[in-house]
Chains A and B, each alone.
Chain A
Amino acid sequence: MVKRQWYHYVIALAILAGIWDVLAIWLNIPAFPRLAPAVAAFVKGMAGGPLLKHFGVSLYRVGIATVISLLLGVPLGLYLGRSGSPVGSVFVYLAHPIPKVVFLPVIIVAMGIGDSAKIFLIVLVILFQTLVTVKDAAAAVSPGLIRSVQSLGGGEWHIYRHVILPASLPAIFTALRLSTGTAVAVLFFAESYAAQYGLGSLIWDTWASRQFDLMFSGVMAMALMGFGFYLLLDWLERLVCPWSETGRP
């Protein structure tokens, strides 16, 4: 992998900004503002404006949901992969393809319109992504490494601790990258109905009141959140999986 430098980000960001502005000029509609006023609205909103509050609320919902699905999905996925439980496998494969977002109306009736309903919906969606990825990784662990730990006197706990978990860590990070993207998208959907705060509600409200610069400041904040998660995960993976840093294929 080519090592990424700061100026690579600058160049890529400049290309993105260029595409945006060209599109805005070409479309020439109020709903797609030029770059400059949208960026101005973003900076103003983040620097003590209401945007920061919306951003914080959304970040909290996605963050808590990710942590919950990780705490549930990783141990369960490792266990299902290691034990090869057929019922567990079938259950995951049946439940995974069900589009969980359609349960939003039911969830709102059952849990109200507060944070918990939104967090629950996000967990419902990304938990199964995490489960499937982690389970497959745990099932694919080389039997030789398991025998190696057994031959040293290790029992099941040691096999999980020294083989299954570390072998699945790269897959857990892959699952996290996938799920943060999905989580932000589900968040937008969950905040589109009866939400007072959150980037999703901001985008819908400003859309309805035709404040398109503000609307795009919300879009940018969402993009920033997704990007922030990626940077955080890259950093965490280097910290947690140092062996893969040294040029392992």
Chain B
Amino acid sequence: MRDVSFTLPVGQTLAVVGPSGCGKTTLLSLIAGLLTPATGTLRVAGRPVEPRRPGTALIMQDYGLLPWKTVRQNAALGLDIRGLPRDRAEQALAEVGLLDLADRWPHQLSGGQRQRVAIARSLALNPDLLLMDEPFSALDALTREEMQDLLLSIWQRHRTSMVLVTHSIAEAVYLAQHVIVLSPLPGRIVGSFVNESVGDRRGTGFHALVNAVRDALSRGVNGHG
């Protein structure tokens, strides 16, 4: 990654779009504090990123559910680790509509349901920064839109700052107020957009921005960034 610099105002949402292998996942790991940058600085809420920052929640591409824990136990995992009471997990499961399946094992769930558990697990921690790595890439089109709507409604309720990494342009434009586009390695920012049409899949604003992001993406891939 080279010369990647951006600022996300508190309570807003950012999508990072880029081709496979441009360092999107690395960027998220850096923000989450799972990796330390070789050069450069990263600040979350004004402070340099520290590993295991309590307010940061990361939702991974493969959801990261533990096969030996039930839905309820998985949702409460972050609370258990932090020694907090488990009742917030129940609330979070209710919020994603999974309370009925709380006693199932992850392998008994559909992809969309597993994604919901992962979201509930993060929500239970009451984060101020939610990081998501290709959260819906493994889902079928309808489930994906359903999950996008769920995520949007959660954001509207909690106003959590969110950083979302995706290779879906439409997803980025539907969900995020800010969209940045990365080039292939070494990843540089080849486009940065402010999005006025969050939560709208049909309007002209949506389509115009999708096209602008697509142009930036192909400029980056073809190397005339």
In the complex, chain A residues whose CB is within 8 Å of the CB of B66: 145, 148-149, 162-163, 166
CB within 8 Å: A-B pair count: 61
Judge whether A152 and B60 touch: CB under 8 Å: no
Interface string of B48-92 (1 = CB under 8 A from A): 000010100110101011111100000001101110000000000
> Distance (Å) between the CB of B26 and the closest chain A CB?
13
Does A243 sit at the interface, judged by CB under 8 A? yes
Interface string of A132-169 (1 = CB under 8 A from B): 00000000000011011111111100100011001101
Known pairs A152-B121, A243-B68; A248 contacts B81 (CB<8 A): no
The residue in chain B whose Cβ has the minimal distance to the Cβ of A169 is: B68
Does A23 sit at the interface, judged by CB under 8 A? no
| Chain A binding surface, main DSSP class | helix
Does B143 sit at the interface, judged by CB under 8 A? no
Judge whether B68 and A151 touch: CB under 8 Å: no
Does A85 sit at the interface, judged by CB under 8 A? no
Does A209 sit at the interface, judged by CB under 8 A? no
In the complex, chain A residues whose CB is within 8 Å of the CB of B64: 144-145, 147-148, 151
Judge whether A243 and B121 touch: CB under 8 Å: no
Interface string of B115-152 (1 = CB under 8 A from A): 00000010001000000000000000000000000000
Alpha-carbon gap, A87 to B58, bound state (A): 35
Does B153 sit at the interface, judged by CB under 8 A? no
Judge whether B68 and A158 touch: CB under 8 Å: no
In the complex, chain B residues whose CB is within 8 Å of the CB of A145: 64, 66
How many residues of A are in contact with the other chain, CB < 8 A?
21
Does A246 sit at the interface, judged by CB under 8 A? yes
The residue in chain A whose Cβ has the minimal distance to the Cβ of B105 is: A243
Judge whether A248 and B77 touch: CB under 8 Å: no
In the complex, chain B residues whose CB is within 8 Å of the CB of A169: 68
Does A71 sit at the interface, judged by CB under 8 A? no
In the complex, chain B residues whose CB is within 8 Å of the CB of A152: 57, 77-78, 81-82, 121, 125
Known pairs A151-B64, A152-B121; A248 contacts B107 (CB<8 A): yes
Does B179 sit at the interface, judged by CB under 8 A? no
A151 in complex: contacting residue of B32, B65, B67, B107, CB < 8 Å: B32
Interface string of A218-249 (1 = CB under 8 A from B): 00000000000000000000000101001010
B62 in complex: contacting residue of A144, A158, A243, CB < 8 Å: A144
A248 in complex: contacting residue of B52, B57, B67, B121, CB < 8 Å: B67
Does B211 sit at the interface, judged by CB under 8 A? no
Residue picked from A149, A151, A155, most chain B C-beta under 10 Å: A151
The residue in chain A whose Cβ has the minimal distance to the Cβ of B52 is: A153
Judge whether A167 and B68 touch: CB under 8 Å: yes
Alpha-carbon gap, A104 to B65, bound state (A): 48
Does B8 sit at the interface, judged by CB under 8 A? no
Judge whether A241 and B121 touch: CB under 8 Å: no
Alpha-carbon gap, A153 to B60, bound state (A): 14
In the complex, chain A residues whose CB is within 8 Å of the CB of B60: 144, 147-148, 151
Judge whether A151 and B34 touch: CB under 8 Å: yes
In the complex, chain B residues whose CB is within 8 Å of the CB of A151: 32, 34, 57-58, 60, 64
The residue in chain A whose Cβ has the minimal distance to the Cβ of B79 is: A152
A sample of 7 more A-B contacts (CB under 8 A), given A153-B81, A153-B82, is A148-B66, A151-B34, A151-B58, A154-B52, A166-B68, A243-B69, A248-B105
Q: 18 interchain pairs (CB within 8 A)?
A: A144-B62, A144-B64, A145-B64, A145-B66, A148-B60, A149-B66, A149-B81, A150-B52, A151-B57, A151-B60, A152-B78, A152-B121, A153-B52, A153-B82, A158-B81, A163-B66, A166-B66, A248-B105
Top 7 nearest A-B pairs by Cβ distance? Answer: A148-B64, A151-B58, A152-B78, A166-B68, A153-B52, A154-B81, A243-B68
